[in-house]
Structure 1
Amino acid sequence: MPLDHDDRAREAVATELRRRGVTPRQLAIQGGLSVDTVNDFLNGVRWPRSGSLGKIEAFLGWPPGRLDRLGAGEDLSGDIDAPGEPADSPASGVLLDIDPEVFSDLDPSERAEAVAAAKLTYLERAREIRRSRGAL
């Protein structure tokens, strides 16, 4: 019996955790999530909120939106946005045009955090739009 789309996303996370030798509890603790959130996701009880999805993707080094794309049924088997690839690469589909002067006073790690937050905000808004259309 084929997996439904949400199951494909859960299986992708579970497979990656096994590959890395990481337990769901370690993902939760190190990724800043509740253990219940991770377990409920992996066991198919409920789909995480946008912020939690972003934390799972960040922990795995996946570009923002990868779990939504899997959940929407996209075939990412040959995806060039492989784990660990920077999410701001042209292959990720969205480039955020941010004036570098806005971040000129930040050190590189602070700048990376601010850009990641901007991407997460973009994704959260896209998810809200899809929900309002009944797409998710």
Structure 2
Amino acid sequence: MYLWIKALHIISLVCWFAGLFYLPRLFVYHAASEDTASKERFCIMERKLYRGIMGPSMIATLVFGLWLLWLSPGFMSQAWMHAKLTFVVLLIGYHHMCGAQVKRFARGENTRSHVFYRWFNEVPVLFLLAIVILVVVKPF
């Protein structure tokens, strides 16, 4: 049972990160677009990605992760797990920042340039590196 839940946790994590990588890239293109049809198309794509893929994937990742912790409570006494969970909480915050930006674009209230979103797009890479290294290497 444990390995099935772990596999589902990893699958949902991959889906979540796919959205976390792609949505800010859509923001880059959206911020650079100038015609109304493109802006409307990006709004639809961003909304569907955030609500249809990213939200459910995040929830599944958290549910399966908590289930794994429940099955192996000894991990909670290890420092690497505390660090990992800190990064997960920060990643959830990033996810919600993306959601707030989806709403700003939908209202036509974006004030940031495509250059900002190019840098914003790199943030989930840092989270992924930190979380994977903590889980695999368990440095402390």
Q: Does the pair score TM above 0.5? A: no
Q: Which has the larger radius of gyration?
A: 2
Using CA pairs under 8 Å that are at least 6 residues apart, name the structure with larger relative contact order, 1 or 2.
Answer: 2
TM-score scaled by structure 1? 0.31
TM-score normalised per structure 2? 0.31
Higher helix share: 2
